[in-house]
Structure 1
């Protein structure tokens, strides 16, 4: 078991205060958007061992069977299959989707064959992996997730009172779901600047008008203010607005458009950096590839709550790349964690003591630890810790 030394990513949308408040450190005025815990080569965690400080990705590369365990190595190859983060958003992230495994493999192969550099701004696929992800709120957390039913989208457009949107509302009411969502979403990606500006002004008015959509329009106005003149606002209008209470979560699968708006949370994902953006960003947007990846299916937001399993509370996910649980040790009753897979634990409240056959350490909020496969951990203390690992059957 090793205490991790992690990197904070200073993305512009990050909060200047949320992570410092969590960790009890002084803010320095710069955005602290994400704290990365894992072995992703972009910002791998570091550990202190007898031989000195080492990057976690290098340790896994040097001894994959010992670090990952045979089952994880067979299933995912010589890499940690997940990436754990603390995410602190003070303004909306880009509106985005992620490919499935087959799409990622094909897209990566094509761009490799074309000789597109991995760090090129216009590159879509930086690896051959999918990127399912989960967010669990630590504070009230706002986001956009998945398409609204077409009739609801149409009602929202009607409420803006713009004649230019009437044909799109009619299409949403008159065509089958998939074709309706695809047609309107495609049109919104190609919208004129005049329409974008008119919608932004209408959203601002609707956010101050009493009505059934007011709370949603308040969220969309925040999106517009954070990204003035960005056409992603129109696409955002088609998505469900959701507010999570602390402890509630969302799972986001392949092809589901989404954006986090504001809040602090624990995020766990497959170890990938494949993102196709729909808007709300100055970064590259590839409409043709985006439309190939998006799944035009409407669905209500499914808010996740954890289920008790032994001494853990496990958040359900339909993938085997990761498993996320919350542990709040009972007084004088330690939680024992057996793992045939590697695991990372991060403390989010109080103080947590971890003990293994090789030693012990105490985590305070923001502190994290890594244990290789096969290392039994005992968790005790007064607080809360989130655990990322892979199911034993992987």
Structure 2
């Protein structure tokens, strides 16, 4: 056979080429799509990955499907998309893997819940010991090391602050100082989580005028995170208190002693602290509600150290487990100090114009490793 041009036979969708030496090659031809008289189909909207993650997280936390759909629709999600996402999430293999991991967390939660059940058998679990003063060893053995709260009624009786710290005194001696406060809190239910948005620097005399205006409000408050006792122009206030060396280290005051000052109506929402602390009440009264760490499974701690629940107006549809919470409630009077152990949940409301000092500079170790949740944040 002599060399010649290859022969091509076209049989759509194939083209067959015959070569010398009996070689054959096949090639698929590109196909043109037939025209259709049917209308074009609009692409269907899809739920974003962020919403899918939100659905999975909340289903793993056993929130009712109806509640999830309602919240999604409230935020503008198409109702069909919401229904499909909520109903189909449980079948996804990633979700099933997450369920297995949740079982490990549920084991820890079950231990907390059992401790809560046992504590509920005793009326003593709903009280806090009150003592004038106790020795360092007794405080360590029976309260600090046992993670148990205590009210001490006589350890700050020598504080000059108890008599001096009136609004008039503060204005006269520190009125020109620049201080930091939290402001604009009433317009933001998550003012503690959004702390940085609410920092405001004002002249102390101006803030004092707000406080003594007679208005009951939570819109502005001078809190621990404002760090005012570390300001050079405010450090003179430390001369009006005495560090009780039976429990506290006088050489460790910077960043560990904090000044609280605000009108009636200020609220510190439900949270726990990452360290042990003393809260000393200088003037005014505060309503304190305490809950032990064993109630953690009920408080919806989804971000940092804060509960999602408004303790004063709980939404039991959104947070049904909160019905199990049994707070210990009492009023902290001027001259009293409450020891709040690390990890204890607490909510505080000022009943009157109030000044408090909190301290974390204990003579005992007071540093702990924490893992904080950040669900849906």
The TM-score, its normalising length taken from structure 1, stands at 0.26
Of the two structures, which has the highest relative contact order with CA contacts closer than 8 Å and spacing of 6 or more? 1
Task: Work out which of the two has the higher radius of gyration on C-alpha atoms and give 1 or 2.
Answer: 2
Which one has the bigger strand percentage?
1
Which one has the bigger helix percentage?
2
